[in-house]
Amino acid sequence: MSVPAFNARGVWAIYKFEMHRFARTLWTGLAVPVITTSLYFIVFGAAIGSRMNEIDGVPYGSFIVPGLMMLSLFTESIFNASFGIHMPRFTGTIYELLSAPLSAFETVLGYVGAAATKSTIVALVILATAHLFVDLSIAHPILMVAYLLLVAATFCLFGFIIGVWAKGFEQLQIIPLLVVTPLTFLGGAFYSIDMLAEPWRTFTLFNPVVYLINGFRWTFFGTADVSAGTSLAATLAFFFLCLAVVAWIFKTGYRLKS
């Protein structure tokens, strides 16, 4: 049995279409994270940072940078990926996509690749903006980029699942607003979980976002509340779980063919 050739042109067509949509709102898409990041530094960095000099030897202004990047990365990844696949379902063009000579892997690669590219660009813009407010050095720059891409791909897969699951545009916002954002704020994005008293610190360890944020923070400062190995294992587990769910969606046709 011959193995079907990889349809690079089809993947590129999906990727280019999704990136073109991003390009139409480029200035808005980049201005929002710059303004938001600046406000976070004014509020958290100035108001709180003046009362909290360092956390684990890291200046508070620098400490919150990985959390800020992750907060935006989660939101952008979910929104871009969910909206990208939900629109064909909403307009009915999903049937043309399913009948095209594209495998499930190629379809997901196009949508998730474009969404991950967009969310990574936003995260890097936030990093560049942060340099205007604090002196920031990255202990493991290559690992930082690799971890950033891994988290972006993971949450884009998660967003893809939400986009298939949602019956309307209102449902696209439920998980990001009511689940992901609160878990991020409670996951040590702007503080160290070691600052929490028991039993709250133990409860916090059941928050999966804690491991993603701390793994990313470790690449910046070489220190975190949770070991780098544990954080990476948790991130990979979530990645493969999302991958398995996406594979199941295409195998069963869940909400794609109905």
pLDDT of residue 160: 96
* C-alpha–C-alpha distance, residues 43 and 171, integer Å: 31
Whole-model pTM: value is 0.91
- Average pLDDT across the chain, whole number: 89
pLDDT of residue 138: 95
- Check whether 73 has a pLDDT greater than 90: yes
Exposed/middle/buried for residue 89 (C-beta within 10 Å: 0-12, 13-18, 19+): middle
3-state secondary structure of 58: strand
50 pLDDT tier (thresholds 50, 70, 90): low
* C-alpha–C-alpha distance, residues 125 and 118, integer Å: 11
3-state secondary structure of 123: helix
Lowest mean pLDDT among 6-20, 89-103, 212-226, 241-255: 89-103
- Check whether 1 has a pLDDT greater than 70: no
pLDDT digits (tens, 9 = 90+) for 111-155: 999 999 999 999 999 999 998 888 888 999 999 999 999 999 999
> Which of 251, 221, 175 lies closest to 63 in space, CA to CA?
221
pLDDT of residue 238: 96
pLDDT of residue 258: 64
**H-state helical runs in the chain:** 8-24, 26-40, 60-63, 65-91, 94-99, 104-130, 141-165, 169-172, 174-175, 181-185, 200-204, 208-221, 228-252
pLDDT digits (tens, 9 = 90+) for 204-252: 999 999 999 999 999 999 999 999 999 999 999 999 999 999 999 999 9
